[in-house]
């Protein structure tokens, strides 16, 4: 009987060993990423670096699941549902539509915003200091930067009178940006025209409209919605239409856009890692205040400026990172 008992114990131990290993493997935190379009690799690398500084190594003690919508917001609900089914521990998002989709998919899984243009105005959180719910992270305050953007365009573009603003249809952030930019536009004597798109097929028609309505500059605030291919299309259309354009992140200027101005997204993705670390250690999103940007980038593409026949004032060059292209 004693031998039988030992044999049973040994058998149970052998059965339990792989089960224990599986449970241990299952304890590795899984981080889901959700975005309308794939971000520049530098953003993800900055996030990985931020986690590495806190002891997390991908494939060793943390795992990532990436879900990009290919520039289509309609894909986001299903992608968010996939992450929920995978039982990720945290979802990292950029932009309002992915955050809304993630929150609709789960009110319990923590959501960290690597960037959001106006999370209070779009209803994602109650306040920066006390976000409430399951969302926290960082805001790029892009909805509040319209005045600075117009001032930059006014200095760079001679006789500026009319700025077309390119943005997605049914975008709360685009609405807020326009609302916040109306007063600065009046103060500078500028007309604003909203140019709404449903998808990339609308781009050419909107650029024709901007030309027909005599806009002499363009503001593009659609970073999280745009894939690299569509970004290239917009930059090429701006060049073809000879429209000086300002964009929200430096990857646009690095790839041929005239000017970019906005929060340093690489810095924000690195800082987003601190939120993930705190949450994995037990902090609740509702208790973590949302941070505002600490670093902004102004980038000028001198090759594009030369092609447009623009002379960039020294006052602007002294503030900017200059990309010779």
Report the 10 Å Cβ neighbour count for 11.
10
98 vs 113: CA distance, rounded Å: 9
- pLDDT band of residue 225 (cuts 50, 70, 90) is confident
pLDDT of res. 301: 97
CB 286 within 8 A of CB 132: yes
Ordered alpha helix ranges (H), 161-227: 172-187, 203-212
CB 159 within 8 A of CB 217: no
What tokens does 195 get?
Answer: 């140019």
What tokens does 8 get?
Answer: 């049973």
Domains of the chain: 8-140+265-294 (3.40.50.2300), 143-263+297-323 (3.40.50.2300)
Report the 10 Å Cβ neighbour count for 216.
20
Q: Does pLDDT of 16 surpass 60? A: no
User: In DSSP terms, which residues pair with 195 in a beta bridge?
Assistant: 166
| Residue 227 vs residues 216, 222, 223: alpha-carbon distances, Å | 25, 10, 9
245 vs 230: CA distance, rounded Å: 15
Query: For residue range 196-214, what is the model confidence (pLDDT) as tens digits?
Result: 998 889 999 999 999 999 9
Report the 10 Å Cβ neighbour count for 9.
10
Q: Which residue has the tokens 């009046």?
A: 186
| Residue 13 vs residues 6, 7, 9, 18, 117: alpha-carbon distances, Å | 10, 10, 6, 9, 54
pLDDT of res. 170: 83
What tokens does 265 get?
Answer: 């997204």
pTM of the entire structure? 0.87
Q: Which residue has the tokens 């955050």?
A: 99
What tokens does 312 get?
Answer: 């960039």
User: In DSSP terms, which residues pair with 194 in a beta bridge?
Assistant: 165
What tokens does 249 get?
Answer: 């992140």
Query: For residue range 68-104, what is the model confidence (pLDDT) as tens digits?
Result: 998 888 999 999 999 999 999 999 999 999 999 999 9
pLDDT of res. 21: 34
CA 16 to chain CA mean position, Å: 44
CB 237 within 8 A of CB 220: no
């Amino acid at each position: 009987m004693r031998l039988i008992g030992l044999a049973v114990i040994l058998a149970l131990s052998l059965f339990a060993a792989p089960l224990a290993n599986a449970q241990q493997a299952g304890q590795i935190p899984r981080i889901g990423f959700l975005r309308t379009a794939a971000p520049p690799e530098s953003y993800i690398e900055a996030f990985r670096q931020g986690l590495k500084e806190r002891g997390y190594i991908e494939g060793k003690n943390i795992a990532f699941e990436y879900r990009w919508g290919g520039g289509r917001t309609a894909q986001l609900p299903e992608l968010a549902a996939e992450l929920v089914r995978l039982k990720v521990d945290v979802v990292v998002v950029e932009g309002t539509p992915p955050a809304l989709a993630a929150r609709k998919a789960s009110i319990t899984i923590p959501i960290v915003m690597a960037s959001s243009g106006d999370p209070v105005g779009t209803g994602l959180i109650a306040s920066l200091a006390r976000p409430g719910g399951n969302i926290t992270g960082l805001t790029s305050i892009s909805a509040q930067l319209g005045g600075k953007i117009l001032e930059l365009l006014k200095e760079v573009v001679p006789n500026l009178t009319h700025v077309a603003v390119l943005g997605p249809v049914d975008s709360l952030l685009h609405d807020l940006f326009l609302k916040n930019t109306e007063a600065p536009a009046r103060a500078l004597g500028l007309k604003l025209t909203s140019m709404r798109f449903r998808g990339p097929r609308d781009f050419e028609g909107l650029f024709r409209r901007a030309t027909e309505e005599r806009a002499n500059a363009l503001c593009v605030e659609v970073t999280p919605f745009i894939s690299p291919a569509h970004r290239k299309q917009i930059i090429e259309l701006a060049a073809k239409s000879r429209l000086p354009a300002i964009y929200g992140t430096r990857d646009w200027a690095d790839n041929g856009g005239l000017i970019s101005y906005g929060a340093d997204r690489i810095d924000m993705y690195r800082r987003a890692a601190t939120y993930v670390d705190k949450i994995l250690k037990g902090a609740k999103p509702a208790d973590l205040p949302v941070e505002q940007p600490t670093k902004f980038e102004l980038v000028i593409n001198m090759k594009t400026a030369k092609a447009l026949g623009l002379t960039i004032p020294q006052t602007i060059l002294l503030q900017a990172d200059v990309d010779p292209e």
